[in-house]
Chains A and B, each alone.
Chain A
């Protein structure tokens, strides 16, 4: 068994609006001198630490947990799961 760090990124699907990101862009970043920025998207990240036999199992186990516990709504959110070996 090895320990893995699994990062779950939850963000709105492409095409669905992201008021928080838009607000940070328009009312914070673009008000400064950072005119080269064109888009900001917000996301929520959960960092799991899990003991599993391999990378693949760690990833599928975390995906399963997120699905079962409704950590995100599949209708709205896009989820990316990244696994890092500890």
Chain B
């Protein structure tokens, strides 16, 4: 856990001498993959980051979008994979804390949390079950204590995460444009550290996150304290209102080393700081430890001497620590002292800008044969297969998870978790919709198309609420980038996301790259997680209760794309086949059409068709509305396919609409006008989920019985070890 040899000689030649031990620690933290993005940064530039609504300011940790009437929304995504794999409760909780402070550092109030969780096979693996249970509790406890609603996310299980955990947390903030912190520093300004005391916890965390996990070397554990975080939020927002903050940065990976060097580099200044001034939890801490400690719940603030007294009063009022640790200089040096003795004195641009790598990439050999499908024994009882899928951990209701989160605190939540995407009310009368999605099974088979699929699925989810996508967050999680095959999958995913973002005009407003995600049995599957933020100008589509006689219509073609489907992987235990591809033109047409149907108030409920395919999507509609539905598979538009594929193919760009029969003609004419592929495929009523092909009945399941299985199988599995 230190610099590599050539990095050390590079550092020596840049500063023209041997570095001190403190300097080595600082540089090792800041040049770690986690802080420097040295493997990925060169390539991330390809993503479009500008748009009409994007506000850019130097030194922001989160993306800022203008939502009109003088208001802005901020968004950010982070992961806490390595810490969560070791200590799921604390790791997941401090992950929430970190992303919240990124939102706060732009000067906006955090208003929502999302979490994307991935674990091993919880049906077999007790460790995975333990990780899952505790990570969820960690997120719930932290978010609930803070009074910030956790309003969405996703949970997925796959054997590739054996003995490991992916914990992604995204957060949204909201505030007035005029209150955004315009990061700057003036002569004689001072540097203040606010919040919790610095201790020995999490020492070396960022380097730890940049090494593959080995069972012995799991030293970075962070203990969450949501009550201090809450006090920091309130103190910072008051200081913002009083105009006391010139610049602000949260302390995350790399601790003070990163915060000081990055702030200085972004503001084009130098900072001189004294480690003796840092309020510590233990008295005997070495300067090296203070500089790299990743103690949670701390913020770095640049302010002027005249404003200090007021800032100190605010900190006193909120019972949080506040110490002046240094001052702004204009020499572009990061100067760390202990009393009068110098421990580090480095040019900030050297510290903050690691040399970017240009890693080799090579198409993985497994991809050459992955699309070849195996022949399976025909399914004898489709009702049983569907029931099995609905009870499977990836498809079963996640109410056990989001039921633990307070998703209403703050009284903004208009559409709650459990639907396609959650919707929040904003102060200017508009609504915000957001969703995060990932699909490692499809990304493994085709990193490019899989990543595009995640992006489109997140878009579909916000479109289902009537929102137009205005920004995206990307979180790219891969194994060791030094393996050319893994790096190739990273590049492919990134290129796919770039193409989609450019074609749809959705700027990337924030993101994160997490590499070296390796388990004892190898690298994880490529796991990009995409968050999409949508804006609704007028009224959101709040799902209305479906009643007897209502029609079911599908938009979009069902294709022969079974690769990475739950049907192949869960029912047949087969990894392979062709992964679904998004047709950009169809995708745009379909999105536009759904949005105008919602705007014209023609539909009761819109649901996207994804995991588990049409069969699962229809079942979800019937179960949440507790009403039966008769579906004719022969009417489903798309390629001529066998029953397996029509039921379970996970083709993109498909939406299910439920509406009153009287609107049918109007809906059809609008869809015809937009040249969209669609068909009315069923009608609601009765108490059974029924699928038939021409006259032959394929599936018949009682809605109530199915619903019970769907709702209870996940909690039963987690709590009692059986479905």
Interface residues of A (CB under 8 A from B): 12, 15-19, 23, 26-27, 70, 73, 75-76
Q: Are B223 and A16 in contact (CB-based, < 8 A)?
A: yes
Q: Are B225 and A17 in contact (CB-based, < 8 A)?
A: yes
Q: Are A23 and B281 in contact (CB-based, < 8 A)?
A: no
Q: Which residues of B contact A26 (CB under 8 A)?
A: 319
Q: How far is the CA of A23 from the CA of B230 in the complex (A)?
A: 14
Nearest 7 CB-CB pairings of A with B: A19-B225, A15-B200, A17-B223, A75-B86, A76-B221, A75-B87, A16-B201
Q: Which residues of B contact A75 (CB under 8 A)?
A: 86-87, 218, 221
- B295 CB within 8 Å of chain A: yes
Contact residue among B87, B130, B199, B218 (Cβ-Cβ distance under 8 Å from A17): B199
Q: How far is the CA of A47 from the CA of B394 in the complex (A)?
A: 39
In the complex, residue of chain A having the shortest beta-carbon distance to the beta carbon of B289? A15
Q: Are A15 and B223 in contact (CB-based, < 8 A)?
A: no
Most buried by A among B130, B197, B223, B227: B223
Q: Which residues of B contact A73 (CB under 8 A)?
A: 87
Q: Are A17 and B295 in contact (CB-based, < 8 A)?
A: yes
Q: Which residues of B contact A27 (CB under 8 A)?
A: 319
- B228 CB within 8 Å of chain A: yes
Q: Quick one: given A70-B130, A75-B218, A76-B87, are A17 and B201 in contact (CB under 8 Å)?
A: yes
Most buried by A among B87, B130, B295: B87
Most buried by B among A15, A18, A23, A27: A15
Q: Are A76 and B90 in contact (CB-based, < 8 A)?
A: yes
Given contacts A16-B201, A19-B227, A75-B86, 14 further A-B contacts (CB under 8 A): A15-B199, A15-B200, A16-B199, A16-B200, A17-B223, A17-B225, A17-B281, A17-B295, A18-B223, A19-B228, A26-B319, A75-B221, A76-B87, A76-B221
23 residue pairs bridging A and B, Cβ less than 8 Å apart: A15-B199, A15-B200, A16-B199, A16-B200, A16-B201, A16-B221, A17-B196, A17-B197, A17-B223, A17-B225, A17-B281, A17-B295, A18-B223, A19-B223, A19-B224, A19-B225, A19-B228, A23-B227, A26-B319, A70-B130, A73-B87, A76-B87, A76-B223
Q: How far is the CA of A73 from the CA of B138 in the complex (A)?
A: 14
Most buried by B among A17, A70, A73, A76: A17
- B5 CB within 8 Å of chain A: no
- B4 CB within 8 Å of chain A: no
Q: Which residues of B contact A18 (CB under 8 A)?
A: 223
CB B136 to nearest CB in A, in angstroms, measures: 16
CB A11 to nearest CB in B, in angstroms, measures: 12
- B585 CB within 8 Å of chain A: no
CB A29 to nearest CB in B, in angstroms, measures: 15
Q: Which residues of A contact B196 (CB under 8 A)?
A: 17
Scan B287-331; emit 1 where CB is below 8 A from any A CB, else 0. 000000001000000000000000000000001000000000000
CB A38 to nearest CB in B, in angstroms, measures: 11
CB A66 to nearest CB in B, in angstroms, measures: 14
- B381 CB within 8 Å of chain A: no
- B214 CB within 8 Å of chain A: no
Q: How far is the CA of A17 from the CA of B282 in the complex (A)?
A: 10
In the complex, residue of chain B having the shortest beta-carbon distance to the beta carbon of A19? B225
Q: Which residues of B contact A19 (CB under 8 A)?
A: 223-225, 227-228
Q: How far is the CA of A19 from the CA of B228 in the complex (A)?
A: 9
Q: Which residues of B contact A12 (CB under 8 A)?
A: 223
Q: Which residues of B contact A23 (CB under 8 A)?
A: 227
Q: Which residues of A contact B200 (CB under 8 A)?
A: 15-16
Q: Which residues of A contact B218 (CB under 8 A)?
A: 75
CB B621 to nearest CB in A, in angstroms, measures: 39
Q: Are A15 and B130 in contact (CB-based, < 8 A)?
A: no
In the complex, residue of chain A having the shortest beta-carbon distance to the beta carbon of B225? A19
Q: How far is the CA of A23 from the CA of B231 in the complex (A)?
A: 13
Q: Which residues of A contact B130 (CB under 8 A)?
A: 70
Q: Which residues of B contact A76 (CB under 8 A)?
A: 87, 90, 221, 223
In the complex, residue of chain B having the shortest beta-carbon distance to the beta carbon of A12? B223
